[in-house]
Amino acid sequence: MATTKESTATGKKIRVKLPRANGHNANQDEFFSVNFKNYIIKRGEYVEIPEELAEVIENGEKAEDAAFEFAEKKALKEPKA
């Protein structure tokens, strides 16, 4: 996720660009809900979003990276049949 921070009168906004989804028919819209507010972000385009939504996206990316690393380590430890 590419990000750029800037301040606005209503609070901090973050400029982000989500990477495009792979596949010919892949949906390029991503749905998020934070504090009962719903957002649909178009992948592959820069959009300005509230700081709390950017934090949710960043935490999701960190969790995904941690899960991938865990799976890699587990695969390396398991004996091959």
Which of 39, 32, 2 has the alpha carbon at shortest distance from 17? Answer: 2
Query: What is the model's pTM?
Result: 0.69
For residue 24, give its domain range.
Answer: 2-77
Alpha carbons 35 and 17: distance in angstroms, whole number: 22
| Neighbouring-strand partners of residue 70 | none
d(CA 57, CA 26): 19
- Quote the number of domains for the chain: 1
Q: Which residue from 25, 15, 18 is spatially nearest to 1, judged by alpha carbons?
A: 18
**Percent of the chain scored above 90 by pLDDT?**
59
State the residue for tokens 């596949």.
Answer: 23
pLDDT in tens, 30-65: 999 998 999 999 999 999 999 999 999 999 999 999
